[in-house]
Amino acid sequence: MEKPQPIQAVVIGHNKKEASFADHLLPPWNERVIGYSNIGQGRQKNQDAASFFLFGENPLHAVLSIADGLGSSFFSEQAAWLAVTQIPKDVGEGGELADSCLRVHRKLVDQQLHSLETQTAHPKKIAANMGTTTLVMAEIKENNLTLSNIGDSRATIIRKGESIFQTRDQSMTQLLLDSGELIHPLQTRRHPLRNVILNALGSPEPFFKTYEGNRIMMKPSGLPVVDQLTLEKNDLILLATDGFFTNLDEEEMIDLIHETPWHLLEGTLSSKLQHVLETGETSLGETANADNFTFVIYRYE
């Protein structure tokens, strides 16, 4: 059986200072999908990436994704780019999600090991270490939504101006929340362990910790947490890296998305984030996160 080929494919990021889906999407999808990425404040690289793949219009089959290359690895923008191109394409063509994620995960781990060996043998040579990355992905088949996330990039489903679902981070602060050591999500915003990611594509750790059924469990690194939902007309699917959602209070963010006309939404959100970065302070009085920020919004019709 021949694999379905994407009707449209747009990928942004890969160390661009600023990039938008609007420069590449064809009608009518430019009126249903928004994607924007920015290098942030004082960063040398943009290690975020985002993609939109359309495999069918009738019936609908679309895949959207965002990845945040982890800054501890100098070449992590390559890992993010690989994640948002290879995995959504595999899934859209009928491949198994877990298999695709593990293939990319192992490729990144193998590349890091090769780089380490190269630099050990040739200390002056800069090896192409592809690094590590988060991934959050939304696959839409008719009105069925599958969310897959690895790390701390998030998906939020907004219905009639309310958040009805949000993915759970695979991070140390989420683990502390789940175990009861932290009692409110706002406590994670200033926590000293807020940047510790437990699961990532390319992670050298073989397993990550997660809290399920009142106990901590170990799961293989590189595997996503998967959630299934049913979409309703005018639902909004928001995917975002932590450089986006840590700089906006959740209620403020949802109100802004719900109340802003669609054709102004990308500019309004990007301007809001730029203002936070320029002032150095969020609306909650916290120090701004100067990281790269990327968001994708899809409107289901």
Q: Sign of the C-alpha dihedral, residues 26, 35, 175, 80?
A: positive
Query: How much is the pLDDT for 73?
Result: 65
The β-bridge relationship of strands 48-57 and 162-166 is unpaired
How many Cβ atoms sit within 10 Å of the Cβ of residue 85? 19
Query: How much is the pLDDT for 118?
Result: 61
- So where are the chain's domains? 8-168+225-299
Query: How much is the pLDDT for 44?
Result: 86
10-residue mean pLDDT series, the chain (301 residues): 85 92 92 96 91 96 96 81 97 96 94 70 62 96 98 97 95 83 72 84 91 85 96 98 92 93 96 94 86 96 92
215 within 8 A of 276, measured Cβ to Cβ = no
Token pair recorded at residue 101:
């994620």
Domain 8-168+225-299, classified CATH 3.10.310.10, yes or no:
no
Q: Which residue has the tokens 């599958």?
A: 146
